[in-house]
Structure 1
Amino acid sequence: MTSGRFITLEGGEGTGKSTQARRLAAYLRTLGHEVVETREPGGSPGAEAVRHVLLSGAAEPFGAEAEALLFAAARADHLEIVIRPALAAGRIVVCDRFVDSTRVYQGAVGQVPAALLDTLEAATVGGTLPDLTLILDVPPELGLARAAERGKGAVADRFEREGTDYHAQVREAFLARAAAAPERCVVVDARGGVDEVAAAIARIVDARLGLAAPAAASA
């Protein structure tokens, strides 16, 4: 079988990752590709159970290292059940968050030692790294305002409850990740409207991965 492609979307709260992941998947399907949409934490039954623990804040009292361990456990299940089988079948996987979020939230901001994160990543991810990571970027004030608007009537999750200074650190850490891995990461200005950002992402994916319609590519 032909190995598929793995695309991740990253960024702080309110950057539009979930919306743009859906839009990207829909765009790729118009090109004739089989696409698997998924997310982290979550994506598989076991990982979704861990997601509830993490985003409810139940793990927060145990510290950032405990959160990192839970994220790693969820990611191991997600990779085994969803991501690797899809890639092996030649599908494109579009994932809302992946390892960069752990490196930012638990690593750069949570101060979990890099050596521990290296060990967890080696044990869970191995060589299954994204072919392309889109880092959606907005100022933290705009992101938090969007998140508040989106979540009207709902309880903010563990990370949405943090203040502006925290989210400014998150933004800077994501930008640093992008700068350190330009062959994999592209920063996307996500301040515009949904259609504008989706069009920019489609252009980036086309340029970076060359995912022309399969029939056209084989002609």
Structure 2
Amino acid sequence: MGDSYEPCHENVLVYDRLPDPVKAEVDTALEEGAYETTSFLVEDELRYERVAGRSVDALRKDGTYYEARVESSTSWAGLGRTRTLSFEETAFTSDTPAELLVRNVTTDLWTGVIAIDDPADERLLEERLTIESYPREETPDHYTEADRDRIVQLPVTNEYGRYEATFDPDNGEPERVDVWFTMGYPPRRNRYAITDNGPEYDETLYGAIGRPGHPSTPCSWDDEGNLI
């Protein structure tokens, strides 16, 4: 693992996806109350600060959110600086629920049930829906209210994390997909299309509702410290 890390641009770091050296700093801070490092060179400085950058508001580990605190002081004889990392439990929610956006790109009417389960397998939402056909070739350059009315919007959760969506058509077998919601300002939404081959991420829904962009997934790093 290199000593340089690209900073995450999401609002939350997920512990399981951190590089191992950063996990070690977090583990010490959580278990012992603080992690302290004295640096004389840039590459020796606190790794957590580098992956967190300026965008991260919280760390999530085992379903609990933590706010990081970093204190700095000049080390003995003024030859370096000491950085102390600690964490405090915090709530990381939004007043506006993140939504799952769904449209039907087949040529037939879709009827069935869409359900959302949280990581503890608790059912958050279950709705029977009839969704009219909205083929991808009809995607406009600019969405009108009539276009948006053909897109199903399902408010799901105020909490960041990975959820599981089940698409259960009346005339087929149920299929499950992972859905990541990144709670930002405003919350990110996930976009799916019902196709002849099952639910797929719908790239053509960029900008349909809310700001454009790919559905967010938690930051991960390769062995060179680059975001992947």
TM-score range, shorter chain: under 0.3
TM score, norm. by length of structure 2: 0.24
Higher relative contact order (CA 8 A, sep 6+): 1
Larger fraction in strand = 2
TM score, norm. by length of structure 1: 0.25
